[in-house]
Structure 1
């Protein structure tokens, strides 16, 4: 009988920013984005974004560890919006979850669900009234199982 490995979900430290960025990069590759379509300075772009989000948008990241090795991560922050937000925060303070990633050999063990749950908890603690995320086709059932619903976001590829 296989021994079940203990999954530990914890808040990431600044020293793990590189790993968060690496997972974010791998996520795009897993989604079929060609490597040559990703900016060559992806690491600096991501690290600078995380630093700014940490200062301005209540950014936090969480990692999943098994036997001391990080096997997954996610990031969350206040949603900065696409247009002026004229609605009072007590009615509309959105959080955003991004970069949910689990190493391929550790998928289908509930790790993405645990990471997302921890991000939702953080966003709730800072007063968010709604959580947004963009789901991949494979991630959609995970998020639906947590109560996320499909939105009215529409897109048109040009």
Structure 2
């Protein structure tokens, strides 16, 4: 018998779960654990707290039988340079930390959570949504209409 999956807004008490999913996302993308700060949990919790206060942070979870098995976060994009453009011209939202536990992948949960994040960012009158996709995530985001950007990189290491 299939169990029902429920998608909802995350509670602040679930910030540690969001942080754990974010950490696990990096590991699943083949980032060695010794490349991750040992204080990753507190770093992530502090980031979420600040983002909630300043950037309209929201997180969403998918749960089965009362247990969260996937999550995604979003917020206003703080930017990398001064904001001199009017918000109606350029107000970006950012989606991060989309994660689905391995046994529950390929069921459309990442897509559903991303759509929740998009809806939240729309409610904030964002003009664009940005995210950085892992190789396995690219098809999910492409199917939602995301296009590859003009971001250019120069690796220095």
TM-score interval, normalised by the smaller of the two chains = over 0.9
For residues 31 and 156 of structure 1, what CA distance do their matches in structure 2 show?
A: 20
Kindly provide the CA deviation profile for residues 118-143 of structure 1, in whole angstroms up to 9, marking residues without a partner as x.
Answer: 00000000110100000000000000
- 1:139 matched residue in structure 2: 137
Give the structure-2-normalised TM-score: 0.97
Cα offset for 1:68? 1.4
Aligned residues: 156
Q: Which stretch shows the higher mean deviation, 96-105 or 66-75?
A: 66-75
For residues 126 and 108 of structure 1, what CA distance do their matches in structure 2 show?
A: 30
Is residue 91 of structure 1 aligned with residue 59 of structure 2?
no
Is residue 31 of structure 1 aligned with residue 29 of structure 2?
yes
For residues 44 and 61 of structure 2, what CA distance do their matches in structure 1 show?
A: 17
Is residue 51 of structure 1 aligned with residue 49 of structure 2?
yes
Runs of 4+, deviation exceeding 2 Å: none
Q: Which stretch shows the higher mean deviation, 115-124 or 67-76?
A: 67-76
- 1:79 matched residue in structure 2: 77
- Secondary structure of 1:17 counterpart: helix
- 2:114 matched residue in structure 1: 116
Cα offset for 1:67? 1.9
- 1:107 matched residue in structure 2: 105
Root-mean-square deviation (Å): 0.7
Give the structure-1-normalised TM-score: 0.97
- Gaps spanning 5+ residues in structure 2: where? none
For residues 13 and 125 of structure 1, what CA distance do their matches in structure 2 show?
A: 19
What does 1:12-23 align with in structure 2 at a 5 Å threshold?
12-23=10-21
